[in-house]
Chains A and B, each alone.
Chain A
């Protein structure tokens, strides 16, 4: 979903070939995992079918695809609507952490040890990201690292908060477990 809008936004600046789009996308959004050519061309084909992009022409030259793509008026409207729409928060990782804590308590395993190990992993990741941030060459890269740092920091705050309430949670989980028994 995000890739298709990113390609539309890149096309809004100027009509371009698929190869150029991949390079621009990777430079801005794919610091750790470049987008595959196949995904770029599949997405462009979908955008053309949906009327949000069009092929301006096919040029002769080297390479597998010399089609030039442009955004359509419908594509601009769609992109505008997507950019205006707030995203729902997606606390996915946090729910995994929560589940692990509850399952550890349910099964009589030491949840505190899990939280401690998770804290160490998160802190080490923050150090790696902070180093990368210091050597970042652009504001975009700095803000991408910041985005990740703030999210990890939020997890850490939850880990600290949960650890301070672990006894109450353990009691609740024990009660629930007793109620579960046939």
Chain B
């Protein structure tokens, strides 16, 4: 199967610190890949380069057959908004907006009218076990609920791929398992690819394949035996 997303020989430095030193990775359509490694190994930088948030100093990123790392900022921003979904460690929900509006946000930014966007968001409340929480503000949610809202927001626009950066980093093990099960189930149903960065083996175990990063390069790949 051809790769949906490919990073080849990626290099990225911040001042004198080399975060990536020739990292390579590929994600197939519908595949769930974990990127794992110790703190400071470059795994988040790799994710940001793949998602078009950062531009690598050298190397190439291809998405759906198109090279995207050298696209102008505006085009990369559009790609992120329309085709990619994101989940971060602390949700990064808009604190002033109720849950339902937070989930609907990607659809509103893509130009959908409020009614359609909210209806789509409402369906996700039920899918992610968030019934009855639509009117709450993010500050009124538990950590696990907040991350599930972030997951709903990442998936509501039916992205081709979801980038998740330590999505369970702020959760206890029970909430983390629940979050990963929902992420995997939803991705499977939608055929969405997922690339999840984590330092936790227990989280990575939910993925089809795990890529270990060490000192800015890929070291080892582990699939389910």
Residues of chain A touching chain B, judged by Cβ–Cβ distance below 8 Å, are: 116, 119-120, 122-131, 134, 149-150, 152-153, 156, 160, 164
**A120 to B224, Cβ gap below 8 A?**
no
A-B contact pairs, 27 of them (CB 8 A): A116-B219, A116-B220, A119-B220, A120-B222, A122-B201, A123-B201, A123-B210, A123-B222, A124-B222, A125-B225, A126-B201, A126-B202, A126-B204, A127-B207, A127-B210, A127-B222, A127-B225, A128-B225, A130-B202, A130-B206, A134-B181, A150-B202, A153-B200, A153-B201, A156-B201, A160-B38, A164-B38
Q: Is the interface of A mostly helix, strand, loop or mixed?
A: helix
The 8 Å CB contact of B202, one of A120, A131, A153, is A153
Q: A120-B220, A125-B225, A153-B202 given; name 15 further pairs at CB < 8 Å.
A: A116-B219, A116-B220, A123-B204, A123-B205, A123-B210, A126-B202, A127-B205, A127-B207, A128-B224, A128-B225, A129-B205, A130-B206, A131-B224, A134-B181, A156-B201
Q: Is the interface of B mostly helix, strand, loop or mixed?
A: mixed
* Residue in A closest to B221 when the chains form the complex, CB atoms: A120
* Residue in A closest to B180 when the chains form the complex, CB atoms: A130
Chain B contacts for A128, CB-based, 8 A: 224-225
**A127 to B220, Cβ gap below 8 A?**
no
- Give the interface size bracket for B toward A: 10 to 19
Per-position 1/0 for B134-167, Cβ under 8 A of A? 0000000000000000000000000000000000
